């Protein structure tokens, strides 16, 4: 018997034809979608143990956040104000993250997952760039929370196998002079030997990849070019091939990265064999047309972190050129203390609007293209388009229901346009992941702790860490 029927909704299928079923229903058995069609047809053909009435709301694929950071959600608020990338990174994010205890990381993870679920996210890619490899109990604590959350996570195990050179060390000293009283780790604290980085990442993949009934994944994640050796990148890609996963890195986020070298970041990665259909590059702001063509030719995907790039003033990534060349582009909310939300619908609205203004062309990044970034193209960017990103028979039953009964969503003649330009995220009413009900009527069912206890714990932990580190 079918386990679950979701009926009476406008299904935004995101299938190849971008079909919208005005009064549609979805049949779910175990963790898979078994049928999609008009409500009358599905109800006549399928009986179910449980029914969810969408009441005319939009039934959409669970949203995919292709690039995010979790633990620094405890530092959001005013701490990133008026800071550039390296100022924010080395005076706020990195000192705070490293000072957190495993329990504080778990508290941050619970808050993050709570907010993500309420925003309709069923899959997120975490870039954990502050791993202390001799203190991996932090990883265990976070991944335990992710398993309990009921949604999918990709854990990007970030490593640096090249300590800062003399030039970078001098730059960091100048940046850190702004807040000299902040307690921060030595600049080489994260650097490990390449062999150790690959061995530790391999162990994580073998322990966690495919766990939580298939909802957890682990990727090798060289953090940035400045802190990764050529061999580190090559070994990360080799490891991705060996274990049939992907790899991700921060690339061309700021102009500093591009200064003083004859070869662009993307050109360098092409030469050493890191580009390809197993690579997802975050940011890609400082790219020229040749770089964009390289991404397209190699099948390399990009995670567009629009709001974070705007907050740090690093610039507009050439997303329109990427789309024109056929590059797969997903969307990431990036750092939770920089965006400051983990809400893809909020970000996709900005993406669809701001690029129009920047290019002085209202035809760029139409609503459908923007919505693709957080659904089917987001799935394609993480190598999971065969399972995620659309509502089709055989795919994983990852679904969100959006309550359209709000004044600001009325009228709704085109649900995709409404979702992109009018919805703000809080209208998500129901979330299903792998066929399991994760949120019902805005009530998140994943955690034993009530919502107010999770938020109270997070506020208390945040205050303690900020005071302990001296963040201003």
- The confidence band for 77, taking pLDDT boundaries of 50, 70 and 90, is confident
Consecutive H or E run containing 466: helix 451-469
Which of 381, 404, 428 is the last residue before a domain boundary?
381
What digits encode the pLDDT tens for the residues 389-441?
999 999 999 999 999 999 999 999 999 999 999 999 999 999 999 999 999 99
pLDDT tops 70 at residue 255? no
pLDDT tops 60 at residue 1? no
* Domain shared by 323 and 362, yes or no: yes
Domain containing residue 48: CATH number: 2.30.40.10
Let me know if 208 is exposed, middle or buried by CB neighbors in 10 A (0-12, 13-18, 19+). Answer: buried
* Domain shared by 177 and 51, yes or no: no
Task: Supply the pTM of this predicted model.
Answer: 0.96
Using CA atoms, how far apart are residues 440 and 300, in angstroms rounded to an integer?
37
What digits encode the pLDDT tens for the residues 157-194?
999 999 888 888 888 889 899 999 999 887 777 789 99
pLDDT tops 70 at residue 470? yes
* Domain shared by 190 and 154, yes or no: yes
* Domain shared by 351 and 432, yes or no: no
Q: For the chain, what percent of residues have pLDDT higher than 90?
A: 89
pLDDT tops 50 at residue 132? yes
Domain containing residue 305: CATH number: 3.20.20.140
Question: Is 467 inside any structural domain?
Answer: no
Tell me the C-alpha to C-alpha distance, in Å, between residue 359 and each of 350, 354, 378: 14, 9, 23
Domain that holds residue 102: 63-381
pLDDT tops 70 at residue 261? no
What digits encode the pLDDT tens for the residues 39-63?
999 999 999 999 999 999 999 999 9
Mean pLDDT for the chain? 95
Residues in the chain: 472
**Token couple for 14:** 């995101």
129 close to 89: Cβ distance less than 8 angstroms? no
Specify which residues 191 forms β-bridges with.
160
Question: Is 397 inside any structural domain?
Answer: yes
Question: Is 456 inside any structural domain?
Answer: no
* Domain shared by 53 and 77, yes or no: no
DSSP codes joined into one string, 19-37: -EEEEEEEEEETTEEEEEE
pLDDT tops 70 at residue 5? yes
- Contact residues for 189 (Cβ-Cβ < 8 A; gap 6+): 98, 132
pLDDT tops 90 at residue 321? yes
- The confidence band for 27, taking pLDDT boundaries of 50, 70 and 90, is very high
**Do the bridges between strand 428-433 and strand 436-440 make them parallel or antiparallel, or are there none, so unpaired?**
antiparallel
Please state the φ and ψ torsions of residue 95, each to the nearest 5 degrees: -60, -40
* Domain shared by 49 and 153, yes or no: no
Consecutive H or E run containing 128: strand 121-128
Residue 9, classed as helix, strand or coil, is: strand
Average pLDDT rounded to a whole number, residues 83-107: 94
What digits encode the pLDDT tens for the residues 347-376?
999 999 999 999 999 999 999 999 999 999
Question: Is 404 inside any structural domain?
Answer: yes
Question: Is 471 inside any structural domain?
Answer: no
Total domain count, the chain: 2
pLDDT tops 50 at residue 259? no
For residue 207, the model assigns a pLDDT of 96
* Domain shared by 247 and 148, yes or no: yes
* Domain shared by 57 and 71, yes or no: no
Angle between helices 265-272 and 289-298 (to 10 degrees): 30
pLDDT tops 90 at residue 308? yes
Using CA atoms, how far apart are residues 381 and 303, in angstroms rounded to an integer?
8
* Domain shared by 95 and 184, yes or no: yes
- Contact residues for 40 (Cβ-Cβ < 8 A; gap 6+): 23
Specify which residues 336 forms β-bridges with.
none
Nearest residue to 61 via CA among 383, 402, 292: 402
* Domain shared by 32 and 85, yes or no: no
Average pLDDT rounded to a whole number, residues 318-324: 98
Which of 330, 349, 381 is the last residue before a domain boundary?
381
**Taking the CA of residue 321 as centre, how many other CA atoms within 13 Å lie in the half-sphere pointing to its CB?**
16
Angle between helices 451-469 and 102-118 (to 10 degrees): 130
For residue 102, the model assigns a pLDDT of 96
Question: Is 449 inside any structural domain?
Answer: no
């Amino acid at each position: 018997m079918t386990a679950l029927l979701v009926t009476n909704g406008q299904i935004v299928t995101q299938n190849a034809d971008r079909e919208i079923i005005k009064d549609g229903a979805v049949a779910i058995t175990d963790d898979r979608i078994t049928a999609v069609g008009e409500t009358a047809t599905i109800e006549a053909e399928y009986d179910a143990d449980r029914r969810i009435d969408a009441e005319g709301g939009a039934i959409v694929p669970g949203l995919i956040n292709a690039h995010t950071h979790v633990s620094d959600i405890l530092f959001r608020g005013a701490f990133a104000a008026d800071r550039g990338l390296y100022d924010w990174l080395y005076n706020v994010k990195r000192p705070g993250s490293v000072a957190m205890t495993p329990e504080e990381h778990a508290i941050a993870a619970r808050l993050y997952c709570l907010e993500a679920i309420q925003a309709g996210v069923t899959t997120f890619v975490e870039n954990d760039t502050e791993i202390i490899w001799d203190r991996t109990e932090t990883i265990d604590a976070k991944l335990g929370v992710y398993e309990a959350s009921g949604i999918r996570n990709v854990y990007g195990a970030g490593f640096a196998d090249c300590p800062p050179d003399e030039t970078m060390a001098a730059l960091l000293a100048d940046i850190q002079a702004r807040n000299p009283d902040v307690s921060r780790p030595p600049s080489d604290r994260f650097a490990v030997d390449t062999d150790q980085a690959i061995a530790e990442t391999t162990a994580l993949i073998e322990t966690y990849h495919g766990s939580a009934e298939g909802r957890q994944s682990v990727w090798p994640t060289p953090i940035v070019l400045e802190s990764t050796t050529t061999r580190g990148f090559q070994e990360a890609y080799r490891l991705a091939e060996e274990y049939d996963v992907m790899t991700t890195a921060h690339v061309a986020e700021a102009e500093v990265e591009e200064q003083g070298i004859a070869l662009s970041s993307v050109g360098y990665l092409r030469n050493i064999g890191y580009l390809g259909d197993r690579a997802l590059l975050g940011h890609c702001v400082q790219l020229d047309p040749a770089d964009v063509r390289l991404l397209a030719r190699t099948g390399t995907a990009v995670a567009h972190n629009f709001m974070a790039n705007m907050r740090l003033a690093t610039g507009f990534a050439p997303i329109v050129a990427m789309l024109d060349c056929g590059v797969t582009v997903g969307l990431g909310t990036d750092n939770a203390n920089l965006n400051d939300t983990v809400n893809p619908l909020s970000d996709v609205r900005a993406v669809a609007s701001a690029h129009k203004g920047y290019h002085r062309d209202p035809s760029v990044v139409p609503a459908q293209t923007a919505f693709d970034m957080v659904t089917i193209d987001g799935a394609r960017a993480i190598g999971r388009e065969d399972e995620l990103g659309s509502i089709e028979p055989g795919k994983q039953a990852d679904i969100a229901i959006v309550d359209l009964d709000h004044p600001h969503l009325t009228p709704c003649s085109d649900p995709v346009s409404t979702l992109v330009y009018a919805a703000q995220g809080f209208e998500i009413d129901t979330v299903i992941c792998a066929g399991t009900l994760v949120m019902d009527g805005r009530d998140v069912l994943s955690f034993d702790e009530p919502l107010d206890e999770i938020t109270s714990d997070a506020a208390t932990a945040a205050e303690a860490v900020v005071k302990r580190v001296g963040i201003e």
